[in-house]
Amino acid sequence: MIADLENALGSAHVLTDPQLREGYERDWTGRFGAEAMCVARPADTAQVAAVVAACREHGAALVPQGGNTGLVGAGVPRGGEVLLSLARLDELGPVDPATAQVSAGAGVTMAALQEAAAAAGFEAGMDFAARDSATVGGLVACDGGGPRALAHGTARARVAGLEAVLADGTVVRRMHGLLKDNAGTPLPALLVGSEGTLGVITAVRWRLVPARRARVAALIPLETLEAAEPTLAVLRRELPSLEAADFFLDDGLSLVLEHLDRESPVAARAPAYLVLECAARSDPTEELAAGLEAAGIEDAVVADDTASRRRLWQFREAHTEAISARGVAHKMDVGVPLARLAEFITRVREVVEAAAPGARTILFGHLGDGNVHVNVLGPDPADEGVDVAVLELAAELGGTISAEHGVGVAKAAHLGLVRSAGEIDAMRAVKRALDPDGLLNPGAVLARVRD
């Protein structure tokens, strides 16, 4: 197996030394990971196909990995698989201004994509804190979102086509970028969000959005999140330029301030904070002011130049690192209908306390999408009690157990909370048809069926 891989990739790109493998084997949270048989680092699609073919011939399972920024264990080994790193597939084509599209290899980072888009007068239509490491292949494979999904949708909405290697080594390619092409079952659509279980994404035809360089952000202290739904209803109607509406709570802010060694952005602290960003071709500051007034919001810290906007967003984006610096967190990425959000936020603390007395719960997320990141510090990383309690609550309130991080291995056993037996059977049938030997990312999304 190793000799075949070395023949295909060159021995420098088949890592068997435990020290060289190490960085690929553990996920960002520190909660998931195991030893890989080896790390294979193909340079292009043909080499990816060769790795898949070798795995098939030797009956070896493989786990695809992009920038290893995933949070649900989908991109790290469970034990003994070939870790297929797509990082070297980092070719970025020219931006086509007529279609507003660009072709990106799976290993292109979000930051590189954003830079190329900006140089051509466009934007990627997506952004998040892990931009410097997260790769296009990985974020399409898990249908990533981030704060700007409010305006531009999740990765699915940005994909005009893709290229992938299927489990039998076949390369399927739909990179022409035709927006209208409904000739049969759309394989690219099937692969988006399949987390490497149906095929290995090697390239993506990405849809850009026109650059909206006039931007203004606002940090708004709130006495309660009870009014989140009616407030958002006003803001969405009054602010056509609204691109993001995130939130965090005061205990999270304290953690971030300590972590970044910064002063509070607001003199009078509040229980909750909203972070808004408006983007337009001409200055949206007046529109924002009018929108805030219509929503009855009187107090806001406004940032209208790039540096101050970035500083303001840091209070929200730095939550992930500030929490991680305190220990291995249980990270539940749930979505709840906006009408049930306030109820969720109250009850989630109660269910966490019942499942893990004394645990610390930090909540933040993308308010506009009803996407709450529930982070719990305290319980043993292997103890799933608190995860189950939070996921069950989200499901009970009509929400989802995975909004943007994916199912991975973290939530595979709990898919039945939000998908019917019929749906899971259909998912298993698709998996069996495309990967009959179960070699692609086994145990992710669909739990292994025990004999």
Interface residues with ligand MLT (CB under 6 A) are 128-129, 317, 320, 333, 373
- Residue 305, both tokens: 């130049």
Considering the complex, state which of residue 333 and residue 387 has its C-beta at the smaller distance from ligand MLT.
Answer: 333
Q: Nearest Cα to 83, choosing from 25, 1, 155?
A: 25
Exposed e or buried b per residue across 387-397, where buried means at least 16 C-beta atoms within 10 angstroms of its C-beta: bbbbbebbbeb
Whose Cβ is closer to ligand MLT: residue 51's or residue 393's? 393
- In the complex, which residue's CB is closest to ligand MLT? 320
Beta carbons of 33 and 75 less than 8 angstroms apart: no
Which CB atom, from 45 or from 69, has the smaller least distance to ligand MLT? Answer: 69
Rounded Cα distance between 31 and 33, Å, is 7
Q: Are 162 and 140 in contact (CB under 8 A)?
A: yes
* Least CB distance to ligand MLT at residue 4 (A): 37
Instruction: State the nearest-atom distance from the C-beta of 111 to ligand MLT, in Å.
Output: 15
Judged by beta carbon, residue 143 or residue 317, the one nearer ligand MLT is 317
CB of 197 to ligand MLT, least distance (A): 21
Question: CB-wise, 231 or 320, nearer to ligand MLT?
Answer: 320
Q: Phi then psi for 372, rounded to 5 degrees?
A: -105, 130
CB 320 to ligand MLT: min, Å: 3
In three-state secondary structure terms, 63 is strand
3-state secondary structure of 290: helix
Instruction: Yes or no: say if 229 and 298 are a contact pair by the CB < 8 Å rule.
Output: no
Over 81-141, what HEC string results? CEEEECCCCCCECCCECCCCEEEEECCCEHHHHHHHHHHCCEECCCCCCCCCCCEHHHHHH
- What are the b/e assignments for 283-317, b being 16+ CB within 10 Å? ebbebbeebbeebebeebbbbbeeeebeebbebbb
Q: Residue 83 CB, nearest distance to ligand MLT (Å)?
A: 22
Q: Which is nearer to ligand MLT, 16 or 254 (CB)?
A: 254
* Least spacing, CB of residue 74 vs ligand MLT, in Å: 14
CB of 33 to ligand MLT, least distance (A): 17
Cα–Cα distance measured from residue 269 to residue 382, given in angstroms and rounded to the nearest whole number: 35
Amino acid identity at 309: R
For ligand MLT, the closer CB: 216 or 275: 275
- Nearest to ligand MLT of 71, 116 (CB atom): 71
Of residues 434, 365, 432, 451, the one with CA closest to residue 400: 365
- State the Cα–Cα distance between residues 242 and 373, nearest whole angstrom: 21
CA distances from 39 to 4, 102, 222, 388, 397 (A): 13, 29, 48, 32, 41
Minimum CB distance to ligand MLT smaller for 41 or for 331 = 331
CB of 251 to ligand MLT, least distance (A): 15
Give the shortest CB-303-to-ligand MLT separation in angstroms.
19
Distance separating alpha carbons of residues 171 and 202, to the nearest angstrom: 9
Query: Minimum distance from CB of 142 to ligand MLT (Å)?
Result: 11
Report yes or no: 137 and 201 within 8 Å, Cβ to Cβ. yes
Cβ proximity to ligand MLT: between 317 and 387 the closer is 317
Name the minimum Å distance from CB 318 to ligand MLT: 9
Identify whether the C-beta of residue 347 lies closer than 8 Å to the C-beta of residue 393: yes
Which is nearer to ligand MLT, 13 or 411 (by Cβ)? Answer: 411
